[in-house]
Structure 1
Amino acid sequence: MAKNKPSQGARKTETLTLRLDPKVKLMIELIARVRRQSITGVVEAAIEEIAFSTDVPFVANELPGAQSVTTAVSEIWSTDESERFINLCFHLPSLITYEEQRIWETVKSSKCFFETRSTQSATYWDIDGMGRIDRQILRLWWVDLLDHVEANKDSRTVVPFEPAF
C-alpha cells in the first residue's frame, strides 16, 4: 500500500516515478498527443483497461472466487487507510505482502481491536474465535499500531499491540 510522508497527510493524488524504455515513453507521448490527453491521462486509461480485464482471487462472504481488479477495488476502497487495509486482508488475503501480513497478524493477536459491550462501531469483519473488529478503535490506534509493528519487525513472533491509555 502506498504511504504518504507524515508531513503530507492525505492527498487527492499520488506521485509515481517510473523507469521506462525510451521507446515506450515515446509511444506514451505520441498517444497523448493523438488523444489530446496528458501523459497521466494516457497511463490512467491504460491501467483502467487492464484492471477491467484482469481477475484477482477475491474472497466474499468467506467464499473464494474471482473478480476483476476494477470490481475488487470498488469493494476494498476507502479513504480511511485502516479500513482499506482490513478490506484488503479480508477480500484479497493471498495478495497481501509480508509487511501487510505482519500488521494483520498483529491486529488479530491484539484483543484491544475487537468489539466489546461498549463498542460503538462494530463491523462485519469477523475473525474466527475472536469476534468482530471494532472499526473506531482500529482507526483511533492505527498510526500507533503501524509504529508498533515497525518497532517489532525483527521479532521472530508477532508482538500484540497494547494501547497506552
Structure 2
Amino acid sequence: MKNILVAIDRKQEAEQLIAKAVEIAKLSKAKLWIIHVTEPDPDDFLAREAGPQYVYDKRSEKRKEEAAIIQEWVEALKKENEVEAEGLLIEGPVIKSLRKITEKHQIDLVVAGHRKKNFLYSLFTANKKKDLVDELNIPLLAVPLDKKHLK
C-alpha cells in the first residue's frame, strides 16, 4: 500500500479519521492524501450573474479557510508523525471528484467517516459509502465516528 486517501467531510471528524489513517500509513509506509470536496461554483457566466456577489465572496472566503486548515493538518502530520502527506481542496461532486483523485494518485485505500443514521433517514437518502465502493473499486475503510467528537 503506497497511497491512502483520507476523505474529510467535516472539520470535527478530521482528528479521528487522520489518526486512523496515520496508524495504517505507518505500518505500510504509505503517503497520506487529505482531501475535502467542496461545492463547485457555477461554470457559466449567466449562472454566476444571477446571484448576489456576497454569496460568491462568502464561498470564496470559506474555501480559503478550508484550504488553510488542510495545510495545517498536513504540516502537523509531517512534523509529529513522520508521515508523508499532501492536502487537497477539490470542487465538484463528491464521488466523481474522489474517483478522479484515486485514479490520478493511484490511491490504494480510502478512509472515510461513518455516522449512524436512523432508518427513516436512510430510506430517503443515497448511500454514499456504497456508491463510493461501487464507483472507486478500491477498498474503503469506514471509521465509526465518536459522537463526542461531532458536537
On whether the aligned pair clears a TM of 0.5, the verdict is no
Give the TM-score taking structure 2 as reference length. Answer: 0.25
Tell me which of the two structures has the higher relative contact order, counting C-alpha pairs closer than 8 angstroms and 6 or more residues apart. Answer: 2
Give the TM-score taking structure 1 as reference length. Answer: 0.24
Which structure shows the bigger proportion of residues in helix conformation?
2
Which structure shows the bigger proportion of residues in strand conformation?
2
When Rg is computed on C-alpha atoms for both structures, the one with the higher figure is 1
